[in-house]
Amino acid sequence: MLRTVLAGLVGLLAAVLLPLSLLSVWVHGVVSDTDTYVDTVTPLADDEVVQAAAVEELDRATVQLLESAGVAPPGVGILVHAVVRRVVASPVFRTAWIAANRTAHDQLVAVLEGRDQVALDDQGRVTIQLGGVYAAVAKELAATGLPGAQQVANLDASIAVMDADQLTRARRAYQLLDALGFWLPFGWMVAVLLTLVFARRKVAATAKLAIGSLVALGLLALGLTVARTRLTEDLPQRDVARQVWDVVTAQLWHQLELAAVVLAVIALATAVVAVLRDRRAVTP
């Protein structure tokens, strides 16, 4: 009786530890590591949604500056839009995107670690700064002979990708997962082994463990979906923020889906084994 209870308790622990293990590996390997994070989001520099948002933001700020300075001739909006689109499609934007995301990652980790000095925007959001692109825009506009074009180089613009207030709610969980790192997967493996050691009926225990783990993974998937919405719902460039979120969590989703497939196969296999055993038991 005691062995059965212990197998059930340790099995429950193993089911809970599996999604936490996936999270800890992802947090430690992607979220906390600047180089990995930047490498992960770099391809978004060529993404249509990201480029469209960058063009919109750069466009708006440039035209607004030229108009307020009184140096905007008729049709300046068309000229600015063409120049901005050309710059954003060039390697200049990719270089600026990489540098901006390195800074944004520093902001992200600073918020999650609870540092006192965090360089957020005036609304307390983690942002991707586009200021580095304005020098190229100014140079292109100056080449067209537009008066006051050099003033554009002093502009600054950004795309908000995460709400810092929402991030602070995940601070304790982040710090714990980052500190545990690869110890959680080790704990999960020990819990799985102990479950099978304590269990009297190994096949049934394996099936229950697989099903319980699938439920836990489902809860993780639900949590990721809710987090995506909560962190980005109030941002003006919501589509860009969600593109960043999707790329950053892609590895976690892949691991989650792979684990779910393996568990489903194990659950199905143990069910088949159980049925075959029952048939043999009733066969005269």
Residue 205 CB neighbours (<10 A): 21
Find the mean pLDDT for residues 9-13.
Answer: 91
Domain ranges of the chain: 2-30+172-282, 41-168
Vertex 65 angle, CA 139 and 98, to 5°: 55
Residue 180 C-beta-side C-alpha neighbours within 13 Å:
21
Which of 25-29, 96-100, 155-159, 206-210 shows the lowest mean pLDDT across its residues? 155-159
DSSP 156: -
pLDDT reported for residue 177: 84
In the structure, how many helices (H) and strands (E) does the chain have?
12, 2
What is d(CA 53, CA 56) in angstroms, rounded to the nearest whole number?
Answer: 5
pLDDT reported for residue 67: 78
pLDDT reported for residue 252: 94
pLDDT reported for residue 166: 75
* 160 three-class SS: strand
Q: What is the pLDDT of residues 169-183, one digit of tens each?
A: 778 888 888 888 788
What does residue 158 show for φ and ψ, rounded to 5 degrees? -150, 165
In the predicted model, is pLDDT for residue 282 greater than 70?
no
Q: What is the pLDDT of residues 43-79, one digit of tens each?
A: 999 999 999 988 888 888 888 877 777 767 777 888 8
Query: Mean of the per-residue pLDDT values for the chain?
Result: 85
For tokens 């925007």, what's the residue? 121
List 126's β-bridge partners, or say none: 162
Could you tell me the pTM of the whole model? 0.84
Q: How confident is the model at residue 13 (pLDDT cuts 50, 70, 90)?
A: very high
Q: What is the pLDDT of residues 118-158, one digit of tens each?
A: 777 767 788 888 877 888 888 888 888 877 778 877 777 78
Find the mean pLDDT for residues 205-230.
Answer: 92
Name the helix (H) or strand (E) containing 184: helix 183-198
